[in-house]
Structure 1
Amino acid sequence: MISQSNNPPLLLRTRGMAAEVAARLRVMIDEGEMPPGARIDEKEMCMAFDVSKTPLREALKVLVSEGRVTHRQYIGYRVAAIDLGDLASTFEMLHGLEAMAGELLQQRVSVTQVAAIGAKHRRMVECHNSGKRLEYFQLNQQVHQMIVDAAGNPVLSNIYATLMSKVHRARGAANTDILRWSESMDEHDAILAALEDPAHTDLPRILREHSENTASEVLAVLNRARASAPAARDEGVKPEVSREPEEVVGFSQD
């Protein structure tokens, strides 16, 4: 009988490395460093993370179960496509939730909550001014959730968080090319000003318009990327046309 004491430590180390690799890949995918349809080169990933194929493949299995990665025989692992039709529908829901939060905030937001949102907003401004796009994007997400949470409706907060998690990767993919960064920052200034106004009368409109503008830009960027995907040629990880001529890996309109 094989001793149980010799195997668990090795297994735990492998699982620990797999979890760490999965976490790092998850961030790379969600923040747009690895775009939709990108081929995941196992050899390059093993070298980059200094791990063997075992923990890498365990990590990739986790990401496949999460829908962030796909695997096909003879093709290998790729970053999962973004369904543009589903994305547009999700954004439509978010517009309404943002406006609803604005209406509730008119009666419920406290001075303390406004101060906390304002402090996070100022950190976001600092990242914008210093060109730290990734940090700005992360703070942006946090500010939006704080605003919705301040509406004091847990059901609204949970639905919003769930839908935002669905568009997070799309926003990250578009974030690398987004053209309206300064415009978005101006809109956030307007949101904070409306929050700091005791009447809060403009909040529903401003929040909804900001959500609509963000959706419009993200969808435009991803549609441009989808249109150019067949011609894209990068070194290493890149979006490619699959073996089926009619299917472009990376984006879907279904």
Structure 2
Amino acid sequence: MAAEIAARLRVMIDEGELPPGARIDEKELSTAFDVSKTPLREALKVLVSEGRVTHRQYIGYRVAPIDLDDLASTFEMLHGLEAMAGELLRQRVSPAQVAAIAAKHRRMVDCHNAGKRLEYFRLNQQIHQMIVDAARNPVLTNVYASLMSKVHRARGAANADTLRWAESLGEHEAILAALEDPDHANLPQILREHSENTAREVLAVLNRTRGNAPSAREASDLEASGKHEEVAQSDQS
């Protein structure tokens, strides 16, 4: 039972239903899952060991915050992998693979039109992995899947708040058009730009949720920028 509860909570956290920093109400969850607190706490301990949940005595359980510096670095790697997949796809993608991606895309569009945000998010994730799998490079596939698992929770949290649906869907339309084009024109660039736009939106949403406090990287950049301005002013004087 604890394993089943952990699996359900894992999905709730990874897909944004329980956002970063949220307090976990044991009584509420026990009622919702129709279980006692004992298996629930066993499940929460598992999620603590995974880094998805934190626990402090007298305070209780909370969804673990997301390290935005690590997230930004992971996204930077993903941009390059998306572009690499695009280059390989231009030489290797088969008509059957394009047809399968197109079918999945149509299902995603239906979810968008019906306002089914969670289903849309899941199909979106599946399409990205299908695109990389179509490059037929097992090392690329494994590295990409590993990094995507690191950003999945962040994307889920942002997906619960963002209104970028229409823009993202338009970018997916462009990706599909490039896949269906025999020349696959600009496919690497289109994939990279979509990845960059997604990262920008996810980081912006999480920064707003966090209360606009700059991350360590942002603080460092601001400090460097300030020193640069001081030097420039000194040179002018």
The verdict on a shared fold, with TM-score over 0.5 as the criterion, is: yes
Deviations 1:104-143, CA, capped at 9 Å, x for gaps: 0000000010010111000000001111010000000000
SS of structure 2 residue aligned to 1:82:
coil
Equivalent-residue separation in structure 2 for 1:253 and 1:35 (angstroms): 21
User: What corresponds to 2:38 in structure 1?
Assistant: 54
SS of structure 2 residue aligned to 1:136:
helix
Q: Percent identity?
A: 83
Equivalent-residue separation in structure 2 for 1:77 and 1:180 (angstroms): 31
Structural mapping, 1:163-242, within 5 Å? 163-227=147-211
The answer to whether the 8 A contact 1:30-1:169 is kept is yes
SS of structure 1 residue aligned to 2:55:
strand
1:101 has 2:94 as partner: no
Letter paired with 2:198: T
1:89 has 2:73 as partner: yes
Letter paired with 2:102: G
User: What corresponds to 2:226 in structure 1?
Assistant: none
Equivalent residue pairs, number: 217
Match of 2:7 among 15, 18, 23: 23
Equivalent-residue separation in structure 2 for 1:158 and 1:253 (angstroms): 29
The Cα RMSD (Å) is 1.4
1:135 has 2:103 as partner: no
Equivalent-residue separation in structure 2 for 1:201 and 1:252 (angstroms): 37
User: What corresponds to 1:244 in structure 2?
Assistant: none
SS of structure 2 residue aligned to 1:216:
helix
The answer to whether the 8 A contact 1:102-1:203 is kept is yes
Letter paired with 2:105: H
- TM-score relative to the length of structure 2: 0.89
Equivalent-residue separation in structure 2 for 1:215 and 1:132 (angstroms): 22
Equivalent-residue separation in structure 2 for 1:252 and 1:219 (angstroms): 10
- TM-score relative to the length of structure 1: 0.83
The answer to whether the 8 A contact 1:82-1:252 is kept is no
User: What corresponds to 1:117 in structure 2?
Assistant: 101
The answer to whether the 8 A contact 1:31-1:172 is kept is yes
**In the TM superposition, what is the alpha-carbon distance from 1:253 to its structure 2 partner?**
4.3
**In the TM superposition, what is the alpha-carbon distance from 1:252 to its structure 2 partner?**
6.3
1:43 has 2:10 as partner: no
**In the TM superposition, what is the alpha-carbon distance from 1:188 to its structure 2 partner?**
0.2
The answer to whether the 8 A contact 1:81-1:252 is kept is no
User: What corresponds to 1:146 in structure 2?
Assistant: 130
1:158 has 2:142 as partner: yes
**In the TM superposition, what is the alpha-carbon distance from 1:179 to its structure 2 partner?**
2.0
Moved over 6 A (4+): none
**In the TM superposition, what is the alpha-carbon distance from 1:96 to its structure 2 partner?**
0.2
